[in-house]
Chains A and B, each alone.
Chain A
Amino acid sequence: MSSSSGLTFKLHPLVIVNISDHHTRSKAQTGRAGRPPRVYGCVLGVQTGRTVEIFNSFELRYDPVEELLDRAFLETKQEQYKKVFPKYDVLGWYSTGSDVQDSDMLIHKALMDINESPVYVLLNPTINHAQKDLPISIFESELHVIDEVPSLIFVNASYTIETVEAERISVDHVAHIKPSDGSSAATQLAAHLTGMHSAIKMLNSRIRVLYHHLASIQKGDAEYEHSLLRQISSLVRRLPAIDSPKFQDDFLMEYNDTLLMTYLATITKCSSTMNELVDKFNTAYDKQNRRGGRTTFI
């Protein structure tokens, strides 16, 4: 069921990183035995009109035996954060898990005295490689009539990710270091080149789409749209940035240098294959058992 409140939610990556970090830490602390425990915390942000922007979060102490949130702790934390970030309010809370549970409603209701309509951010820590989206869902509470009993239930809300420049740097950093632990120069180069390759591939496919569209306009299959053509024309005129003969010379020289490197690389690869081939051929067909390298001529 999706939310009908009409609020737009914007989530900052810092929150996601915080939640994931909290979860990983507690998982590491409990060790490998058993399922990782659920973690809980508050989310902070600003609500202006219909837009709810979630900037930050902090952790809460939860007693699993008593099933009680530590209210005193929450209040001290809230005061401290208010001093540093006066603009931020407690907008809701977060937790980890694969789906909403019944006990969550209790916590939700408990937070209602701080914020009349809190949001619930849920992170699914199970890694699913097939899934392309973020495993994060945002829930709101709504009063629905079910079996003639009005009750509060969670409804799913859509959200977008919003980044500030500073956050972009950290996200980039995390995204690139992650594939290998102790990344050597080779893997970093491979990661860099893969990123470049996918970026160029995407550029290529987008340009191809534009090209096909223009071709179909020319043929008469699509309609002649002036504003679109103006945009395409301004895009095309962006490159080349400079066009002087000196630039051409330098550019071509660098281009040829890179080509020379590629040429050298391909020749090296070829020579190495050839070397292996010759070794195999010698072991297979040579009657003498020659284990040495080249024999000198004189």
Chain B
Amino acid sequence: MSSQRIKWKIEYEKSVICQNFDRKGYVRTEGDDWNIFWATVGTVKQIFNPDSSQRLTDNQVINHFPNHYELTRKDNLVKNIKRYIKEQQKEGKQVDDFLPVTYLLPSDYSLFVEEFRRYPNAMWIMKPSNAAQGKGIFIINKLQQIKKWSTGRFARDQQTYVVSRYIENPLLIGGKKFDLRIYVLITSFRPLRMYLGDGFARFCNVKYSSDVGEIDNPFMHLTNVSIQKHNEDYNYNHGGKWNVQNLRLYLESTRGLAATQKLFSDIDDLLVHSAKAVQNVMINDRHCFECYGYDLLLDDNLKPWLVEVNASPSLNATTQMDKEMKTTLIRDVLDIVVPEEFGSDYRGPNTQGPCRDQGDFVVLYDEAASNEKALREAELKAGQKEKKKAVRSWK
């Protein structure tokens, strides 16, 4: 099928996306005859609504899973991961926790208070379940700070919060706190097809201190660019962002090769576990793919912690380097999700054979391929036993 006939649709003008579609020679459309639609989560929700009459055709792909919020809403993420870790334990598989201790409010309020009293010197971070860009986040170290809030808020609106143990010993570089944004593309949940993309570190402008007097300083604690932008030291050249290569070089130099390799391998494990945790609850529609923005925090012991998963990571480019990275990112995503043969007989990514590296994306986890490999290895072992048996019987 000539690329001329592939049609694309977009809801909000994002130059990074439009440019990529244009370069591939796809044709823009405003109607429902699109082949690839870069939509908002709200629109995707409408399309997949059981009451909607819209049925996607075989050669249509869209950029969100209908119930992505199993992964991307903080409260669902916590529930799903807690459940998954328990299930794994029952099967005898130990999965190290990678979510800081978290409680849902208001439902877990009493459990939270018990935990809080056990560690009276700890700091906790409060986040609205469904907000983004650092909105509504604050840090507490005294129960009164939320008692006050809880009496007022709960009565008024339905907004649920999550409260997590705040990681007070984050890894600091140049004395500043940072987090990691990593892009992960998932084209199928059953079986899992995951690709690992580029990433970058986002720095706070202000030097970190775990001093209690500073818990109200968002510039010290919250790494979101939307917040750091307002600091007078914010630099438009690099935007407080560091690419992963610099991070890797710094860590290898200061912590050694082995510790650095372990960290990145732990990060890979974390990403795969998080996807496995929601594997069975996700609506695995073959028209869907999703490029998630994972936010991770590294602590002083080089352990990665999952902060949250974003379904619509920002595609705004704040710096030149940013623009290049996001353009390449989308280019690679399109190369993966738009198959070469995109006709009316396309049956989804699982018919395309094993996952392959593409551009800057490397295959993170291909469940089908790894199961097959395990099967073949088992068969080989069994076959060898068979052979031995045959030799003995002949004798």
Q: Do A and B come from one complex?
A: no
